[in-house]
Structure 1
Amino acid sequence: MGQANRRHHFVPDFLLKQWTGSDKKLAYFTWLPNGTLHTDRCSSRGVGFEEHLYSQANPSGTKDVSLERELFTALIDTPSAPVHVKLLNGKLGDLTSPEREAWSRFLVAQLVRVPSMIQYLCDVGSQMMLADIKDIEPPDEIKKQLGHLTLQQYLETDGAWLLGNASKRALEDIIKSAQLNRVFLDAHWAVHTVTGCNLDLVIGDRPLLLEGRMTNTFLFALPLSPKSIFLAANDAESIKNIAADRLRDVVCAFNKESAVVADKYVYATDGQQRRMVERYLRKPSGPDDQHIVAGLRSALRAARASL
């Protein structure tokens, strides 16, 4: 199986390559096990991925990579890339309805496609499905195949891959969710440029930032390039306030947030932001409680408790 099929990007290349320089590489920062902040340069295709992140298991033990190709590439990233170009070129107001819908799906996808959220959805999905089949009596034919195991015992052991597959297949329904997409489609959109600032924006391996709560007043932010950031808010004043701030303050605030909520990596044009990253990037031993994922975990936990 080719490397391209194994590498499943949760931060798409069309986004990351905006941070590459004349060497066609970007700078990245990450903590090493010995507590040292490691910095190096790499191509945009060489970061922001995890092998087989969206793959499903086959009975033979091989990996089915169709979900990455048919969902995240075909439905999410490919339609979003030209919208990203329009946003960079100051054509937000020229977006068609299909383009706004494509960008909305892209934003929703950023909520759930990161590795920590994929793992959580698989864990919670498996628990809920096991609870649903707890008292189900399978047909005699299935009983013969299970041998001495109950259906629940089988799915907890040898058949656990089936539950993982089902959870990953649910990703498409989540990303297409009308309720989640309405959050973005009904919001006020803007692209804020910081070309007059001598500091560049950074981007983390959890690139979508959230201030507030999706059920209340919120502001989403997504760095589009070192000099521009996409904003979506349900209160237009939030965007106006950002536009009124000093450019350097805006860049510093968003860069701090990108580092704080990142899982393992922060990406930049160069090493200029090293001190900031060293101060705010969570070490592997630190609690992972600052990202949207933490809020979604709580929401899913509450939803499960109400079932």
Structure 2
Amino acid sequence: MASKEPKLPKHHYIPVFYLKQWAGSGKVTAFRRLHDKVVATPKPPTHTGYVRGLYWLEGAERSLANRIETLLMGQIDNNAAIAHRMIMNDQIHSLSKVVRLAWSRFIVGLLIRSPATVKNIYDRMTNPTAKEYKELSREFERDFPGKKYKDISPLEMKRAAMFSLVKLMQNPQVEDMLNSMTWTVYDLGLPELRFFTSDRPVIMTNGLATKNGHLALPLSPRKMFFAFANKDIQAEIKALSPWHIADQANEVVIRSAIEVAWDTNASRLPYVEKFLSKDAADDRKFFGP
């Protein structure tokens, strides 16, 4: 009797350490739309926010096929967990350059590492526009002399998409831009208010390179990380009431979710039903217009 192929490993596009912040009772509540209805399901953080084999290098030996997860994603998440713990402990203004870089890289990763983005990279490589085809052909023929882009097999294309993801995850230009901004943490301070998170949790109302550029990320149900391009936009945000910040942040996070949002319990299911994934198709303008 033939033995079963072992399951591919879980690859968390939303890390467990991050989701644990919403797991006060040991479980988070995952909201997902099934057909025309949103369902709320309690799950341990280890059992949600993942796809098996998401970053798997198909065709490689099993000992090598998981290297993107173990050498890149795992390292990013381990370092980010340290940064997150320090930020939650009110050490944001004393972070070392190494820790700030780790946190910046984590934020960039959250924008890129989702299943939808992985699929989009692969789809654009297999069905590029005329302009993209020229660029991809030039890069491919530079990296693989004697080969033509049009002759790449589907398996090679999938692996190339994974390596493109790796390059995007390590973007010094974006990391430097984030590191140059003013970082702060906002605490709602009211037990009746809390933030959601989702599979697209990074909030950007302006591109980072714009005059009033700023970025936000829920750190926990009560705390939000902010990065500001200047003091004026920082003062403008700080002047808002906790109710306004919670309302605005939650609507963006829920509307932007690709498939899944998370909360501490299911009590806000009607709210999620109203907004979940309404803006999921919108692309992010990271650098500005």
Counterpart in 2 of 1:221? 216
CA drift of 1:19 comes to 0.3
Partner of 1:50: 51
Q: Equivalent of 2:204, from 210, 232, 243?
A: 210
Whole-angstrom distance in 1 between the partners of 2:98 and 2:136: 38
Aligned-partner Cα distance in 2 for 1:69–1:135: 29
* Corresponding letter in the other structure for 1:246: S
Give the Cα separation in 2 of the matches to 1:64 and 1:48: 21
Does the 8 Å contact 2:205/2:214 carry over to 1?
yes
Code of the residue aligned with 2:120 in structure 1: it is Y
- Give 1:273's aligned residue: 268
Alignment of 1:158-307 (within 5 A): 159-216=153-210, 217-282=212-277, 288-292=280-284, 295=285
The residue correspondences of 1:58-73 to structure 2 (distance < 5 A) are 58=59, 64-73=65-74
Deviation for aligned residue 1:218: 1.9
| Conservation of the 8 A alpha-carbon contact between 1:219 and 1:233 | yes
The aligned counterpart of 2:81 is: 81
Larger radius of gyration: 1
The share of aligned pairs that are identical, in percent, is: 22
Deviation of 1:124 after TM superposition, in Å, equals 3.0
SS at match of 2:209: coil
Once the two structures are superposed, residues 229-280 of structure 1 have per-residue CA deviations (whole angstroms, 9 ceiling, x without a partner) of 1011212222222222111111111111110100111100112221221111
CA apart distance, 1:170: 2.9
C-alpha distance after superposition, 1:187-220 (max 9, x if no partner): 1111101122412111011111111123323221
Q: Is the 8 A contact 2:86 2:92 kept in 1?
A: yes
TM-score w.r.t. length of structure 2: 0.85
Letter in 2 for 1:185: N
Partner of 1:98: 98
- Give unpaired runs (5+ residues) of structure 1: 143-150, 300-307
Amino acid at match of 1:209: I
Whether contact under 8 Å (1:210, 1:220) holds in the other structure is: yes
Check conservation: 1:57, 1:165, Cα contact below 8 A.
yes
How many residues in Structure 1 have an aligned counterpart in Structure 2? 276
Distance verdict in 2 for CA 1:213–1:134, change over 3 Å: closer
- 1:132 alignment partner AA: R
> Structure 2: how far apart are the matches of 1:215 and 1:281?
28
CA distance in 1, matches of 2:169, 2:139: 26
Give, as a single letter, the amino acid of the residue that structure 1 aligns with 2:44. S
How far the C-alpha of 1:224 sits from its partner, in A, is 0.5
For the residue of structure 1 that corresponds to 2:204, the secondary structure is strand
Kept in 2: contact 1:55–1:63 (CA 8 A): no
Q: Structure 2 vs 1, CA of residues 180 and 125 (structure 1 numbering), >3 Å: closer, same or farther?
A: farther
Counterpart Cα distance in 2 of 1:59 and 1:243: 50
Counterpart residue type for residue 173 of structure 2: Q
| Cα deviations by residue, 1:56-105 (Å, 9 ceiling, x for unpaired) | 1116899811101110002x111110110111111101211111111111
Instruction: Give, in angstroms, the shift of residue 152 of structure 1.
Output: 4.8
8 A contact 1:261–1:291 mirrored in 2: no
Q: Give the whole-Å Cα distance in 2 for the aligned partners of 1:276 and 1:260.
A: 11
Aligned-pair CA distance for 1:131: 3.3
Provide the rounded CA distance (Å) in 2 between the counterparts of 1:138 and 1:176: 25
Give ranges in structure 2 of 5+ residues lacking alignment. none
Distance in 1 between residues matched to 2:169 and 2:216, nearest whole Å: 18
**Quick one: structure 1 residues 274 and 63, their matched pair in 2 at CA, closer, same or farther if it must change by over 3 Å?**
farther
**Is 2:12 aligned against 1:9?**
yes
Whole-angstrom CA distance in 2 between matches of 1:101 and 1:61:
31
Distance 1:164 1:81 in 2: 29
- Relative distance call for 1:169 and 1:277 in structure 2 (3 A) is same
Show the counterpart of 1:122.
122
